[in-house]
Structures are given as structure tokens and as C-alpha cells.
A and B are shown apart, each in its own frame.
Chain A
Amino acid sequence: DIQMTQSPSTLSASVGDRVTISCRASPSLSSWLAWYQQKPGKAPKLLIYKASTLESGVPSRFSGSGSGTEFTLTISSLQPDDFATYYCQHYNTYSWTFGQGTKVEVK
């Protein structure tokens, strides 16, 4: 089974900060990696798929990179609406696996 390890589990930041969240996969999973944003009481929202493709309608301040075992979600300039929990997700023809989540909170 694929294991997904996200870091950090909590991140304190201010509006305007550049934020980076990491996701490590074991073993390698090519580029079948997605990122989601979730706010309390709401369903997850897809931000990025295939590691670096921005979902339609998602602001360009969000970007994804990486392949193989190391992946990164970057928010170039944190906005008030971005305080939320973020999950990475591996998806392939057999199963899905989610990271444990990273909560981005107000510093």
C-alpha cells in the first residue's frame, strides 16, 4: 500500500506569507497526486491534480510540484480565505490514500 506523509501537521502563518506544505509518498507514485482544501463542516475542494495541474476556478496563487515520492503545495501569498486544512491524495487504478492533513492557522 502507498503511504502518504504530510508535513507539517499545523502551520501558523500571516496574510501575505508564502506557504509550503509537503507530502511524501512511499513507494513512488509517479504524478497521481492531488491536493484538497477543506474548511470546517464543508466537503473537500479539489485544488490541484496530476501533481501540478490547477483545477478550473482555483486561484493561481495555488501551485503544486513534484513527482515520484516528494510533492509540494505552495500558496504564493496567503489570503484570509486560505486558512483551512489541506490534504494530499494519491489516486490510481487500485486505491486512494490521503495524507493526514495540514492545518493552516492564523499566526
Chain B
Amino acid sequence: EVQVVESGGGLVKPGGSLRLSCAASGFIVNNAWMSWVRQAPGKGLEWVGRIKSKTDGGTTDYAAPVKGRFTISTDDSKNTVYLQMKSLRTADTAVYYCTTMSETARGVWGQGTLVTVSS
């Protein structure tokens, strides 16, 4: 079964850092273009960023609000995607999901992990 499980969320103060994990099973993350999407409380979906598959260069792209503060990476040995977040702001408060539109696991979403940025 293809699935992803996000973890690592929690309460952090403005200016702080946090690393989210997305553990995949049933497919190889390095063969997929993996994205992070977030949803602020009561709001819509917002794309955060994406890492391409290793065969397509493994490069990353980010949405303007997080560029320079967030970094996406993968760990082959753990089949896991990470979202490193720094200089967090209250506007970053959201449920964070990892997902992909790559054919190997198209449409897979985890349950999400909640990040709350508050003093």
C-alpha cells in the first residue's frame, strides 16, 4: 500500500526552527517529485515547495512566502522527505502535508502534522 506519514510538528516560538518528516512506504521517494502543502486554520491549501526526483536532478523550488527560510531534502536510507523550517513566523501556523503527483504515488497524502508558531 502506498502511504506517507508526516511527523515533527509542534509549538514553536516566532523566529524558531522545526524539521518535519514525511516517511513513505510502498514507493521510493527519490523516484517521485515530492511536494509539501500547508493549510492554515480555516483556510485553503497552499503549496510550500517541491523536490524533484533524483533522476530529474533532485532540485528544489519554493513558494515565495517560504523561499530562503524553508529547505526540502530527502534521506534515501529512510525513504523520507524532510522540510526544514527556520525563522518561523506566526503566518506559518498550519497543518503541513506531503504529497506527490508523480505516477508512482499520485494522490497520496498523509494525515498532516500541525505546526503552531506562537509566543
Do B47 and A95 touch (CB < 8 A)?
yes
Do A87 and B45 touch (CB < 8 A)?
yes
Residues of B within 8 A of A91 (CB): 101
Q: Which of B13-21, B72-80, B83-91, B107-115 contacts A (4 or more CB under 8 A)?
A: B107-115
A71 interfacial contact with B, CB 8 Å: no
In angstroms, how far is the closest chain B Cβ from the Cβ of A99?
A: 8
A interface, by DSSP: helix, strand, loop or mixed? strand
In angstroms, how far is the closest chain A Cβ from the Cβ of B19?
A: 21
Cα–Cα distance between A36 and B45 once the two chains are bound (Å): 10
A30 interfacial contact with B, CB 8 Å: no
Residues of A within 8 A of B111 (CB): 43
Do B63 and A95 touch (CB < 8 A)?
yes
Do B44 and A96 touch (CB < 8 A)?
no
| Nearest residue, chain A, Cβ from B46 | A98
| Nearest residue, chain A, Cβ from B45 | A98
Interface size range on B against A = 10 to 19
Residues of A within 8 A of B107 (CB): 45-46, 49, 55
Do A96 and B47 touch (CB < 8 A)?
yes
Kindly supply a per-residue 1/0 record for chain B positions 87-119, scoring 1 wherever the CB is within 8 Å of any chain A CB and 0 otherwise.
Answer: 000000000010001000011011110000000
Given contacts A94-B61, A95-B61, A96-B35, contact A43 B47 (CB under 8 A): no
Given contacts A55-B107, A96-B35, contact A43 B50 (CB under 8 A): no
| Nearest residue, chain A, Cβ from B56 | A93
Do B47 and A98 touch (CB < 8 A)?
yes
Given contacts A95-B50, A96-B35, contact A43 B109 (CB under 8 A): yes
Residues of A within 8 A of B35 (CB): 96
Do A87 and B44 touch (CB < 8 A)?
yes
Given contacts A34-B101, A43-B97, contact A98 B44 (CB under 8 A): yes
Cα–Cα distance between A94 and B61 once the two chains are bound (Å): 7
Kindly supply a per-residue 1/0 record for chain A positions 9-41, scoring 1 wherever the CB is within 8 Å of any chain B CB and 0 otherwise.
Answer: 000000000000000000000000010101000
